[in-house]
Structure 1
Amino acid sequence: MKKRNYGNIYLIIVFILLYAPIFYLMFYSFNSGGTMHGFKGFTLGYYKEVFSDTRLLIIVLNTFVIALLSSVIATAIGVCGALAIKFMPRPFGKNSLLSLNNVLIVSPDVIIGASFLIFFTILGIKLGFISVLVSHIAFSIPIVVLMVLPKLQEMSPTLIDAARDLGASQWNVLSKVILPYIAPGVLAGFFMALTYSLDDFAVTFFVTGNGFSTLSVEIYSRARQGISLSINALSTLIFLFTILLVIGYYFINRRNGNKGIRSGATKE
């Protein structure tokens, strides 16, 4: 019992350290005093300021377009990569691809961002929408691969063998056996890629050009100019949107799990 209590206390302390600054930021986004040192009254003025800023709304649109496009493309490429790693016959090639994939996961964002900057400069690609999109696709692919591979490894080879014995083509095996089975992993990879793209700053900072920006870079540039509670309001909106994404992902996973249980009960 004591060990369990110590564990609960530890988790509570960790969550307080993680979320207390966020709630502090959210609380002062409603402060009419204009500072974060004394709450003088409730106001929604900073939220109105955010929604009336046309440039900021365009940046928000840019951010979501980049996140959605990069997530969809990275998910498609990541699924293909995970399938290639899973069904690669030679262990050396499989381990090599896994190692290269994992290296990109653990590499510092600053190094990845600087590498992309040099790469685009050498090729003569203008920094802007394309450079940011390509960069986000690149660092999202390893995340999708890591989400999909466990589901592929859980899948029994007898499912594929049975489908082939029944005369299924390669496409039918992929579309009607493999993809439905790994769908939860694909969905998890998509949402992880989406959240990483929305939150990324270090890589994006290196590859954005004049006239194009994302929310993370914009918030950083505004914070350097001085304390403004409109930053608090904007950060609060982003945080709430992220929570909605997590809740949506939870309910989708729960619904898929219930479907799997029902289908299993029906077969029995």
Structure 2
Amino acid sequence: MRGNKLGKVYLILVFVVLYAPIFYLMFYSFNSGESMRGFEGFTLDWYKEVFQDTRLIIIALNTLIIALLSATISTILGVFGALAISYVKRRQARNTLETLNNVLIVSPDVIIGASFLILFTIIGIKLGFTSVLLSHIAFSVPIVVIMVLPKLQEMSSSLIYAARDLGASNWDVLSKVILPYITPGIFAGFFMALTYSLDDFAVTFFVTGNGFSTLSVEIYSRARQGISLEINALSTLIFLVTLALVIGYYMINQRQGKSIAAGVRKS
């Protein structure tokens, strides 16, 4: 009992440390003053400034477009990458491929960003929308692979053999057996890629060019010029969007789980 209480206290402290700065930032986004030294009164003026800032709205749209495109493309590539790894028969080769995929996830963002900067400079790709999109796709694909691969490993090979015995073609096996089974992993990979793209700063900072920016880079640039509560308002909106994505993923995952359970009961 004592261990359980200590565990609960520890979890509470962890969540307080993680979320206290966020809620502190959100709280002062409603401050009528111009600093975070004292709360002078409630106002929505900082949010009005965010929505009246044309440059900021364009940057937000750029960030959203990059995130959606990179998440969609990396999900497609990641699914086929996970399928390719799962079909490798030699265990050592398969483990090597999985390790190489995981190395890309744990590699420092600074090294990845610098590598992309050197690559784009050598091959002549202009820094801007294209360079940011390509780099986001590159670091998102391993995330999708690591989300989809466990679902493929869980799937029994008897499902595929049964489908082929019934005369299913390779496309039928893929579209009607494999993809429906790994759908939760595909959604998880898509939402993870989406949130990583929305939040990324280090890699984007290296590969963005003049005339193009994302919200993370813009917030950093404005914060260096001085503390403005408009940044608080913008950061609050980003946090709420990310929270909505997490809730959306959770609801889709729950619905998928219920539909699978219902299918099992019917069978």
Aligned residues: 267
Q: 2:174 matched to which residue of 1?
A: 174
Q: Give, in angstroms, the shift of residue 97 of structure 1.
A: 1.3
Looking at structure 2, the residues matched to 48 and 64 of structure 1 have their Cα atoms a distance apart, in angstroms, of 20
1:35 aligned counterpart, secondary structure: coil
Between the aligned partners of 1:96 and 1:170, the Cα distance in structure 2 is 27
Paired residue for 1:50? 50
Distance in 2 of aligned mates of 1:35 and 1:95: 53
Give the Cα separation in 1 of the matches to 2:108 and 2:85.
24
2:100 equivalent to 1:100:
yes
Instruction: Normalising by structure 2, report the TM-score.
Output: 0.99
Distance in 2, Cα, partners of 1:248 & 1:101: 27
- Mapped partners of 2:90, 2:251: distance in 1: 39
Aligned to 2:195: 195
Alignment deviations for residues 152-193 of structure 1 (CA, whole Å, 9 cap, x no partner): 000000000000111110000000000000000000000000
CA displacement at 1:117 relative to structure 2 = 0.1
Matched to 1:216, the amino acid is S
1:251 maps to 2:251:
yes
Give the equivalent residue in structure 1 for 2:18: 18
What's the secondary structure of 2:59's corresponding residue?
A: helix
TM-superposed CA distance for 1:92, in Å, is: 3.1
Superposition map of 1:139-218 within 5 A: 139-218=139-218
Distance 1:19 1:160 in 2: 45
Displacement of 1:93 in angstroms is 2.5
- Match of 1:33, SS? coil
Look up the equivalent residue of 2:77 and give its one-letter code. I
Deviations 1:197-235 (A, max 9, x none): 000000000000000000000000000000000000000
Counterpart of 1:72 in structure 2 is 72
Instruction: Give the match for residue 240 of structure 2.
Output: 240
Residue 2 of structure 1 is matched in structure 2 by: 2
1:90 CA drift (Å) = 2.2
How big is the shift at 1:91? 2.4
Q: 2: distance between equivalents of 1:176 and 1:122?
A: 43
Which amino acid in the other structure matches residue 22 of structure 2? I
Larger displacement relative to structure 2 (257-266 or 70-79): 257-266
Is there any run of 5+ residues in structure 1 with no aligned partner, and where? Answer: none
1:151 Cα deviation from its structure 2 partner = 0.3
TM-score of the two chains, using structure 1 as the length reference: 0.99
**Structure 2 regions of 5+ residues with no counterpart?**
none
Matched letter for residue 81 of structure 1: G
Q: Which amino acid aligns with 1:78?
A: G
Superposed CA offset, 1:13-71 (max 9, x none): 00000000000000001111111010011111100000000000000000000000000
Opposite residue 20 of structure 2, the aligned amino acid is: A
For residues 93 and 84 of structure 2, the distance between their equivalents in structure 1, rounded to whole angstroms, comes to 10
Amino acid at match of 1:203: V
| Distance of 2:108 and 2:81 partners within structure 1 | 22
Residues 246-255 or 90-99, more deviating: 90-99
- 2:262 and 2:82 map into 1 onto residues whose CA distance is 28
* CA–CA distance in structure 2, aligned partners of residues 40 and 160 of structure 1: 65
Distance in structure 1 (CA, Å) of the matches to 2:103 and 2:248 = 30
> Moved runs in structure 1, 4+ residues, more than 2 A?
90-93
CA distance in 2, matches of 1:15, 1:91: 40
